Amino acid sequence: MDSRRLLRTSATALAAAGLVLSGCSGGSDAAAPRTTAPAPSSAPEAPKLKKYYEQRLKWRDCGVEGFQCATLRVPLDYAKPDGEEIELAVSRARATGPGKRLGSLLVNPGGPGGSAVGYLQGYAGIGYPAPVRARYDMVAVDPRGVARSEPVECLTGPQMDAYTQVDQTPDDMAEVNALSAAFKDFAAGCEKKSGKVLPHVSTVEAARDMDVLRAVLGDGRLTYVGASYGTFLGATYAELFPDRVGRLVLDGAMDPSLSALDLNRDQTGGFETAFRAFAADCVRKPDCPLGTGSVAAAGEAMKKFFRDVDARPVPTGESRKLGESLATTGVIAAMYDEGAWPQLREALAQAMGGEGSGLLALADSYYERETDGTYANLMSANAAVNCLDLPPAYRDAAAVEKAVPSFEKASPVFGAGLAWAALNCTYWPTPPTGRPHRITAEGAAPILVVGTTRDPATPYRWARSLAGQLSSGTLLTYEGDGHTAYGRGSDCIDTAINTYLLEGTPPADGKRCS
């Protein structure tokens, strides 16, 4: 796989996947009301916020060629603007020209928990189409709680190693208790290390931070490309500040009207769809480790492999062995981009032969684990934001037991593990501040929503739903595999998005590309 594409895929996909694998999504197993939440007025800012909106950024060299960095000050709590401040990391690459500068283009790769600054410097600022980079300053801000912006911290590296290996398909009450204890310990670690910021990392607050940045950059309206969770962040911005919406691209859309139980179950179905596409490709090849029969038979072979490594973890050449949890994570990590399928075939073949280092490497890339055993704060931030944005998916472990059959129906291969993974917000120390609701953003300029028909992490139905909710939503469809569509090789998709960003004209609603 092209290294630049790998950087882009990692930044976008891995963060999004945390929604299910770490069970960080919120939502109640009781039906939640789906009404449109009241949006704050986008009238001129309260006087106490003026100092934030009128601050000047001091740009400096980042140590990364072509990029500048700065620090944005925002209130920890917008309800107390005279209270404590926090600092957010910002980076930009200036418009390269030629042509008239169109302002700033803010990018976010998803998550929650993905570093937008890392994404900008590793991909968007050098890999976005040249005509777009010519006309826009490419800008990113790490959202509060993420990476360089007051990062949420929960566990040490060795503790994270243990956490990622806990069995997420418990076979008896002892294993249920062990999984519950792991989630409780994770939450307690977050509260101990990051208790100050934990109540203030919601998507609403991150969207308000983006509006401060918009004003400080001198833009009257926000131009933005958000992928995966970044679409929820962008839609939330449109809800809060509809008259400040410029050109918004929401690629790999989330559905804000769903509870977390529904989000997790839908995403589980998305991973099954992606696995079936992988299996259909695999069984046509003579070296397919899942056999050369039917897709259904490949699915049974995959389930058998997971059962085998659950009972007898496979050596990896280091102290960690490949059990079912890490193996599942490695397989799911490869579902995000069909370019990773050859790597997955090889890793599966090795693991089935008793050598698990290939799948472990995929799992480590998913969790952003470094070779020295340290982790980025991706999974910590993912949990903190998701558990604040929505009520927990389950009241207790007994509720998971009841939900498992519906998850297994959505995905015979991944269902049980992904059902149990959604338990962790049950034990979260900070009460949720958000609720599932429709976002209409009445009065906003046209917003472009992009969906991929076989997207594993953000199922296509979510894009259709969000485009239908937004009063000015336009749906663009990519008929293909992988997570998100922009910059993935479709000239049709890229041309439509580039035209919208450069000229302000969205494609016809319902346009389809392959």
Active site residues: 228, 455, 483
Dihedral angle sign, alpha carbons of residues 319, 20, 421, 409: negative
The answer to whether the beta carbons of residues 240 and 27 sit under 8 Å apart is no
State how far the alpha carbon of 45 is from the alpha carbons of 144, 212, 213, in Å: 20, 10, 13
The answer to whether the beta carbons of residues 32 and 436 sit under 8 Å apart is yes
Element (H, E) at 89: strand 85-93
Closest to 512 in 3D by CA, of 474, 484, 477, 468: 477
| Distance in angstroms (rounded) separating the CA atoms of residues 207 and 237 | 5
DSSP string, 247-306: EEEEES---TTS-HHHHHHHHHHHHHHHHHHHHHHHTTSTT-TT-SS-HHHHHHHHHHHH
| Distance in angstroms (rounded) separating the CA atoms of residues 180 and 168 | 10
| Distance in angstroms (rounded) separating the CA atoms of residues 358 and 343 | 8
| Distance in angstroms (rounded) separating the CA atoms of residues 380 and 206 | 16
Closest to 299 in 3D by CA, of 168, 412, 456: 412
In the DSSP assignment, the letter for residue 37 is: P
List beta partners, residue 87: 73
- Residues contacting 7, CB < 8 A, separation 6+: 122, 123
The answer to whether the beta carbons of residues 16 and 456 sit under 8 Å apart is no
The answer to whether the beta carbons of residues 366 and 329 sit under 8 Å apart is yes
List beta partners, residue 61: 68
List beta partners, residue 86: 74
The answer to whether the beta carbons of residues 196 and 145 sit under 8 Å apart is no
Question: In the chain, what is the straight-line distance between the N-terminal and C-terminal CA atoms, in Å?
Answer: 20
- Residues contacting 401, CB < 8 A, separation 6+: none
Alpha-helix residue ranges (DSSP H) falling in 147-242 = 157-164, 173-194, 203-216, 229-240
Closest to 229 in 3D by CA, of 67, 23, 10, 382: 382
Give the relative orientation of helices 397-410 and 260-282 as an angle to the nearest 10 degrees.
40
